[in-house]
């Protein structure tokens, strides 16, 4: 469930409420009974993976650092001896 943030301009209190999407928003301040306003909160998120500016359009110096950190993986194949001794 999302957390909603409200502010009361009358008393200056800030409230954070966990509400369902279907719940009615808060209209009155529980402290003073004044009208509250819903605030828009900043959300935090992290951009991971390819397709972002940092990974695809970074400066040449940054790309060199990134490429030097990623070492290529090489595989060695071993073949089983298929010659049968009789």
The one-character DSSP state at 69 is H
pTM: 0.47
Closest CA to 38 of 22, 63, 17, 60: 17
pLDDT tens digits along 58-68: 667 766 776 77
pLDDT tens digits along 23-60: 888 899 988 999 999 988 777 777 776 666 665 666 67
| Rg of the chain (C-alpha set) | 29
Closest CA to 4 of 43, 45, 35, 30: 43
Question: Any idea where the domains of the chain sit in the sequence?
Answer: 3-39
């Amino acid at each position: 469930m999302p957390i909603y943030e409200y502010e009361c301009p009358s008393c200056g209190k800030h409230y954070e409420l966990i509400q369902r999407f279907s719940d009615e928003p808060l209209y009155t301040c529980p402290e003073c009974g004044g009208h509250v306003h819903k605030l828009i909160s900043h959300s935090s998120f992290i951009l991971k993976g390819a397709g972002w500016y940092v990974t695809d359009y970074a400066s040449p110096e940054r790309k060199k650092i990134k490429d030097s950190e990623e070492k290529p993986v090489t595989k060695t194949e071993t073949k089983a001896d298929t010659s049968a001794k009789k």
